[in-house]
Copies of this chain bind each other. A is one copy, B any other.
Amino acid sequence: MTHTLFSPLDMHLHLRDEKMLETVAPLTAFSFAGALVMPNLVPPITTIEALLAYKSRILEATKDDTFEPLMTLFFRSDYTREFLEKASLHVTALKLYPSGITTNSEGGVASMDIEVLRPVFEVMSDLGLVLCVHGETNGFVMDREKEFASIYESFASAFPRLKIVMEHITTKESVALLDKYDNLYATITLHHLLITLDDVAGGMLKPHLFCKPIAKREEDKEALLHVSLNAHPKVMFGSDSAPHPISKKECCGCAAGVFTAPVALPALAQLFDKHHVLANLQAFVSDNAQKIYNYAPLKKEVILEKNPFLVPQSYSDVVPMFAGESLTWSIKDVL
């Protein structure tokens, strides 16, 4: 049994830089036609020069003309219209991080005050630049995304022409917002479709499943599954695949992030097949994103087959999700 995906896209990806970039970029380029690359390097990507240089390094690392990195700028509230007009030629979206909320987000936005953000949001609306948001407050870890809902609402209603993507959503409250505001969209990760806090900390503690936002409750997972499996048109796959070397994961203080890039498509095929909705996977991993971002991806055919895939224990020094486990679907060929 096989299933072909056309031009799969990962609309939320961390490729890091230098040695890590060389390790992980080819793994995504192998099975995806494109990916929205997050800008939270150290220092973050805030200039056109830095963005173009990073894009070159990514292309150099992937060496694959069937893969296109879609670049993002690290959101700053002091960007000028002139700068954004120039940047819009090279940039797919701006990524807004509340300051200090996740890995390398220290230079993010300190206040979610609409009046502070208005100038840049207006220009982005004019230029058709998408706003991607890491939507968490600095509250209690299980409440952070829920508490951010009112901020999403204030953005969406004050800037109706701005396309806003709620990144890596994890709660039923965020899912509910999709049908409330025309201009709110969402990415959903593989791991948040599969795990709850019980999997991270209910038995043994599992550093390799620790991520931000942290996995929530069963009812939240069910809400995410519902819109993903049913190909809700405002929902896109975004792995948030976030590699950390093993030394940063199995230690006294472990970094947040699940590395799913090399297992994402087989694992999604297994999940959608289990729910008898394999036909909906194309929308989730590509078609919805094409429409939302008004983007025509490079041509790529990924032929998946129902044949076991034994996931490696690690890729270089990065441990993937399902390390050492067997998935029921694998990648047979990429054309």
Contacts and interface: CB of A to CB of B under 8 A. Distances in A.
Contact of A252 (B196, B202, B206, B217): B206
A83 interface: no
User: Oligomeric state, in number of copies?
Assistant: 2
Given A250-B251, A250-B252, A141 B206 contact: no
Nearest to A218: B140
Interface in A175-199: 196-198
B142 A197 contact: yes
Interface string A286-323: 00000000000000000000000000000000010000
Say which size band chain A's interface belongs to: 20 to 34
A254 B197 contact: no
Interface of A: 140-142, 196-198, 200-208, 210, 214, 217-218, 250-256, 319
A208 B207 CA distance: 12
A245 to B, nearest CB: 14
Nearest to A251: B250
Contact of A201 (B141, B208, B255): B141
A218 to B, nearest CB: 7
A297 to B, nearest CB: 35
Contacts of A208: 252
A221 to B, nearest CB: 11
Contacts of A196: 140
Contacts of A250: 250-252
A255 B250 CA distance: 13
Contacts of A201: 141, 200-201, 210, 214
A204 B253 contact: yes
Contacts of A198: 140-141
Contact of A207 (B202, B218, B254): B254
Nearest to A219: B140
Nearest to A254: B205
A250 B141 CA distance: 22
A98 to B, nearest CB: 14
B207 A141 contact: no
Nearest to A203: B253
A148 to B, nearest CB: 15
The 5 closest A-B pairs by CB, nearest first: A204-B253, A205-B254, A141-B202, A205-B210, A141-B198
